Structure 1
Amino acid sequence: LSGHRQIPPFGLEGGQPGRIGKNWIKRQNGHSEDLGSSTQTNVHPGDVINIRTPTGGGFGPCNEPETITEEV
C-alpha cells in the first residue's frame, strides 16, 4: 500500500509505467506534512491522513483510438 513513492511501478511488454503514490497528513491547523513511504508521526484529533496509492504499470503498447474501437 505504501510502496512506490519515489520510483513508479514499471510497465511490461512496452506498457507505460504507473504513477507514484503519496502519503501526507493535513493538520487541524491547515499545515500539510509529507509522510513518505515509511514514517512515524503523531496524529491528533482533527488531523486528516491522506493516502494516494500508486497506479499499476501498463501491459503492452498503447493503441491508437481508432484501433481500440475495431478491437472491441
Structure 2
Amino acid sequence: MSTVSAAAAEPAAVTESGEQKKPLRACCACPETKKVRDGCIIEKGEENCTELIEAHKDCMRQLGFKI
C-alpha cells in the first residue's frame, strides 16, 4: 500500500457559510471501507484484497486526499 504525505493527508474543509473547520485526517476518513479493507488484508493478505484496497482509495480521493 502507498503512503500519504502529511500535506496531502489533510485537505482543507470549509463549511457552507465559508468558515474553515478542522481538516479531516486520513486515519479518520472512510471508516467503512477502511474496516473492510483491513479485515481482508489481515485474513487473506494484501494481494487478495485489491478490489477493497482500490475502493478505499477511491473513497479517500473523493474526500480530497491525494493517493
TM-score, structure 2 as length reference: 0.29
Of structures 1 and 2, the larger Rg is shown by: 1
Structure showing the higher strand proportion among its residues? 1
TM-score, structure 1 as length reference: 0.28
The higher relative CO (CA closer than 8 Å, separation ≥ 6) is in 1
